[in-house]
Amino acid sequence: MTSTEPSSDEAANASIDAQTSGIQGALDLVGDRWSMLILRASFRGVRRFSAIQTDLGIAKNLLADRLARLVDADILARVPYQDRPVRHEYVLTEKGRDLSAVLIALMHWGDRWCHHGSAPTVLVHDECGEPIEHSVRCPACATDLSPGQIQSRPGRRAGRERTKP
Amino acid sequence: MTSTEPSSDEAANASIDAQTSGIQGALDLVGDRWSMLILRASFRGVRRFSAIQTDLGIAKNLLADRLARLVDADILARVPYQDRPVRHEYVLTEKGRDLSAVLIALMHWGDRWCHHGSAPTVLVHDECGEPIEHSVRCPACATDLSPGQIQSRPGRRAGRERTKP
DNA sequence: GTCAGTAAGTTGCAATTTGAAACCCACTCC
DNA sequence: GGAGTGGGTTTCAAATTGCAACTTACTGAC
């Protein structure tokens, strides 16, 4: 059996809070199943209330609630798509589009580990059709990094803490 | 005002379902706030029931529930860390470790857009201290890709659909 | 003018989940 | 025996989700 000791960096948790607030903030805004699925629909061009509702099979009250939250959070913008009568669709903002990495990572993981017998998807470069590569690199060392080789640090260079994601 | 038409790929949704099942499967397993935060704690070496509970401030019943689910899903494994009495900690499996990309992406996004006045973190290579680069590349073309340049395709090469994440 | 249809919600209520906190069990060690 | 630790389980109120009926604001056809 393995005997491992708990991490002993707990004295330095004051600035780990700075890191935590990033992911906490993200999860506060998008850390629920429906929000993620709505965002995924947006990336796929499904932007109207009825279309999203049909696509996801979500209750209308929940959809209205989530859309309002995502608009409040400036992740989606409510944009008119016609005049008579005026009708709106929900369009990703830049902030919302930046969530693509999260969705891609989720999809990758899901396809690898949750494919339930259906064919996994492959993400490809649209121009050449070859599978894409996801990487995390150190440009200074010109090497790819594994998750264990990443630390995070406050942006102000106030100190160093060793953490994993 | 912009007038955009809904995507017209809806006839091909039969194999978009294959893609959806990946992200649905992922969200079924980890698409809730507490599961994500527990996984984050695991990556940081916080693995014992009490330590996780204290770290996250989560209700014990929810923690027990989530841990059981994550163990059932083979994302965490329950590993003894001592004999007398026998005590267990929750350790990431390979499947669980593969979720690091999701957590890194969430952290990046949160740090960029949700920093609420606290100092954003920078993710760095632990050996040299330089900021890491996250990229999505096409190895065949040797170019970086933006989210709009990615398609997904069923793994069996049954057909092509243009989708975003 | 009336009516049907569409889009985008709102409302009411039951079911489910979350959250707080008390409680419990199984040890170990003094 | 008793205190302390670790890891839960149970109870119950509050919050959220989910279902489905209902509403509002049009437009266009007759």
ipTM of the complex: 0.79
Residue A14 has pLDDT above 90, yes or no: no
Give the CA-to-C1' distance from B118 to C20 in angstroms. Answer: 29
* Residue A112 pLDDT: 86
* Strand C contacted by B34 CB (< 7 A): yes
Residue B48 has pLDDT above 50, yes or no: yes
Give the CA-to-C1' distance from A50 to D28 in angstroms. Answer: 21
Q: Which residue has the tokens 């100190």?
A: A159
Interface A:B, Cβ pairs < 8 A: 342
Residue in B28, B40, B32, B159 with CA at minimum distance from that of residue B105: B40
* Residue B138 pLDDT: 85
Residue B53 has pLDDT above 50, yes or no: yes
State in Å, rounded, how far the first CA of chain B is from the last one. Answer: 26
Residues B21-47 have pLDDT tens digits of 678 899 999 999 999 999 999 988 899
Q: Which domains occur in chain A, in start order?
A: 13-98 (1.10.10.10)
Contact call for B121 and A165, based on CB within 8 A = no
Cα A111 to Cα A104: distance, rounded to the nearest angstrom: 10
Chain B: nearest CA to A42, how far in angstroms?
A: 9
Give the CA-to-C1' distance from A149 to C22 in angstroms. Answer: 43
Give the CA-to-C1' distance from B73 to D8 in angstroms. Answer: 20
Lowest mean pLDDT among A73-82, B6-15, B40-49, B108-117: B6-15
* Residue B17 pLDDT: 46
Chain B residues in contact with A103 (beta carbon < 8 A): 23, 165
Model confidence band, residue B116 (pLDDT cutoffs 50, 70, 90):
low
* Strand C contacted by B65 CB (< 7 A): yes
What is the DSSP annotation of B45-73? T--SHHHHHHHHT--HHHHHHHHHHHHHT
Query: Which of A86, A113, A130, A153 is best to mutate for the B interface (most B CBs within 10 A)?
Result: A113
Nucleotides of strand D lying closer than 7 angstroms to a protein CB = 6-11, 17-21, 25-28
Which nucleotide has the shortest C1'-to-CA distance from B57? C19
Cα B73 to Cα B122: distance, rounded to the nearest angstrom: 31
Both structure tokens of B146: 């933006």
Lowest mean pLDDT among B5-14, B53-62, B90-99, B106-115: B5-14
The residue with greater pLDDT, B144 or A24, is A24
Cα B99 to Cα B21: distance, rounded to the nearest angstrom: 17
The residue with greater pLDDT, B136 or A138, is A138
The residue of chain A nearest to residue B19, with distances taken between CA atoms, is A121
Residue in B74, B96, B58 with CA at minimum distance from that of residue A27: B58
Query: Which of B75, B118, B128, B149 is best to mutate for the A interface (most A CBs within 10 A)?
Result: B118
Name the pairing type of β-strands A76-83 and A86-92: antiparallel
Nucleotides of strand C lying closer than 7 angstroms to a protein CB = 7-12, 18-22, 26-29
Contact call for A104 and B136, based on CB within 8 A = yes
